[in-house]
Amino acid sequence: MTAPTVAPPSRERAQRELDRLVSLAHEHLGLGVVYVAEFVGGRQVYRALAGDAPSFGLSVGGGGALDDSYCARMVAGTLPNAVPDTAREGRVRDLAVTSSARIGAYLGVPLRLPDGDVYGTLCALSHEPQPDLNVRDAKFLSLLADFMVDGLASERAASRRREMLSDLIRTRSMTVALQPIVDLHSGACVSLEALARFPTGLGSPDRVFREAEQAGLQFDLERLAVQRAVERLPSLRSDQSLAVNVSPAVAFQLMPLVSADRPLHQLVLEITEHAAVEDYAEIRQWLQPLRERGLRLAIDDAGAGYASLRHVVELRPDIIKVDRSLVAGLESDAGRRSAFTTFALLALDVGAVLIAEGVETAAELDTVVTLGADAAQGYLLGRPSTDPEDLARWTSGEPLLPVGEGSGPTP
């Protein structure tokens, strides 16, 4: 199975929009070429072109020195926006590029970002002089520039985020917090869920994963998260499992990570259900040999989105984790209780273990016990933690819940 390449859709959309506006300028002005140049480190780099670019020596991604350029002069205010005849304009007549690219007329406006930075320029060139070129043409170009700058600014911000995410992945700047999952019959911590944590300032883990997806780095980031999580396996007891989160799109690409020749009894893959699955057969096929080696499959956040029932039916998980949105306050909410019960019955039917997620209060805990949960996870039982003392307690074998004579915790 090959890994599908994930193109960052936002970048493509931004480029299409830029191309559209540049073409519009080209059609309207009727000059030889229209282009967007970005100023980067003393150079200008062409980002979008329309018209006969080769005859002016321009290509997308190509560039030249800013020194001695028309655009640098125009932005500095030493060249007017419209130069109808370069032969009559002393400030550019003798520039090498005027003769090498045969520039007869020039029109250009700065692309000024909302924060005041100059992104670059939007320009048009013609081989012949254009005696009619005037301030109105520059105004038109300015108007188009106004339409471009927001997109350019957000694309620049996105590309900074992309670089930052690539750095993060390269330097493996991710830690793993663990959160206990407690068996409601024995009170023991039977599993620990690994949750990725990033350096402060990057926003929530959810946000970082979402941005990685937008930047086409989803696979790399999720792979790192799985690697980091699996590194924690040796600190668990042999009767405890480690649960790691993977999205369906990425799950089957992670095969090489777990293809080593060892049993997988201690590993639980939590399939997050935010996204729809396109090809269940493929995932099933990939999972089969791993499940035979002991890997267990959990459907995460069940009840939070539209896909969880289908996931359960198609993938026959070993574990169903009911989302916090159905658990919060369910002791006083008949609707939530019956939704929870639906998953409890489903779990019975498919022979899955039922875990209640996000249990914060004793009342929630009592209720999910009554409704048939086998295990629970949530702040009441332990917050996700990177503290070795917490881990020591959770792996000590001591029950985290007092257990009564019956099948559930005492009130």
Interaction residues for ligand G, span 165-184 (CB under 6 A): 179
Question: Using an 8 Å Cβ cutoff, are 38 and 45 in contact?
Answer: yes
Least Cβ distance, residue 351 to Mn ion (angstroms): 21
Out of Mn ion, ligand G, none, what residue 358 binds, judged by CB under 5 to 8 A for its kind, is ligand G
Out of Mn ion, ligand G, none, what residue 147 binds, judged by CB under 5 to 8 A for its kind, is none
Q: Which amino acid is at 123?
A: C
User: 353-356 and 375-377: which strand pairing?
Assistant: parallel
Least Cβ distance, residue 299 to ligand G (angstroms): 11
Out of ligand G, Mn ion, none, what residue 337 binds, judged by CB under 5 to 8 A for its kind, is none
Out of Mn ion, ligand G, none, what residue 379 binds, judged by CB under 5 to 8 A for its kind, is ligand G
Closest CA to 366 of 401, 394, 318, 319: 401
Q: Does 104 bind ligand G (CB under 6 A)?
A: no
Out of Mn ion, ligand G, none, what residue 32 binds, judged by CB under 5 to 8 A for its kind, is none
Q: For ligand G, which is the closer residue by CB, 359 or 369?
A: 359
- Return the residue matching tokens 């658990």: 327
Q: Which letter, b or e, does each residue of 349-364 get, where b requires 16 or more Cβ atoms within 10 Å of its Cβ?
A: eeebbbbbbbbeeeeb
Helices (H) and strands (E) in the chain, counts: 15, 14
Least Cβ distance, residue 189 to ligand G (angstroms): 14
Q: For ligand G, which is the closer residue by CB, 187 or 384?
A: 384
Out of ligand G, Mn ion, none, what residue 324 binds, judged by CB under 5 to 8 A for its kind, is ligand G
Rounded distance, CA 221 to CA 237, Å? 27
Q: Does 301 bind ligand G (CB under 6 A)?
A: yes
Give how far the C-alpha of residue 141 lies from the chain's centroid of Cα atoms, to the nearest Å: 35
Out of ligand G, Mn ion, none, what residue 266 binds, judged by CB under 5 to 8 A for its kind, is none
Q: Does 322 bind ligand G (CB under 6 A)?
A: no
Out of ligand G, Mn ion, none, what residue 360 binds, judged by CB under 5 to 8 A for its kind, is ligand G
Least Cβ distance, residue 160 to Mn ion (angstroms): 29
Least Cβ distance, residue 57 to ligand G (angstroms): 53
Q: Does 245 bind ligand G (CB under 6 A)?
A: yes
Q: Is 269 exposed, middle or buried (0-12, 13-18, 19+ CB in 10 A)?
A: buried
Q: For ligand G, which is the closer residue by CB, 58 or 297?
A: 297
Least Cβ distance, residue 229 to Mn ion (angstroms): 11
Alpha helices in 57-134 (DSSP H): 70-76, 90-93, 96-100
Q: For ligand G, which is the closer residue by CB, 120 or 317?
A: 317
Rounded distance, CA 389 to CA 367, Å? 30
Q: Does 324 bind ligand G (CB under 6 A)?
A: yes
| Torsion, CA 210, CA 197, CA 181, CA 242, rounded to 10 | 90
Q: For ligand G, which is the closer residue by CB, 250 or 359?
A: 359
Contacting residues for 5 by C-beta, under 8 A, at least 6 apart: 216
Q: For Mn ion, which is the closer residue by CB, 168 or 195?
A: 195
At residue 322, the 3 state secondary structure works out as strand
Least Cβ distance, residue 193 to Mn ion (angstroms): 6
- Return the residue matching tokens 């350019």: 152
Rounded distance, CA 399 to CA 188, Å? 4
Q: Which residues bind Mn ion (CB under 5 A)?
A: 245, 270, 300
Q: Does 211 bind ligand G (CB under 6 A)?
A: no
DSSP string, 38-50: EEETTEEEEEEEE
Interaction residues for ligand G, span 351-380 (CB under 6 A): 357-360, 378-379
Rounded distance, CA 124 to CA 33, Å? 5
Out of ligand G, Mn ion, none, what residue 378 binds, judged by CB under 5 to 8 A for its kind, is ligand G
Q: For ligand G, which is the closer residue by CB, 127 or 232?
A: 232
Give the residues lining the site for ligand G (CB under 6 A). 179, 195, 245, 300-301, 324, 357-360, 378-379, 384
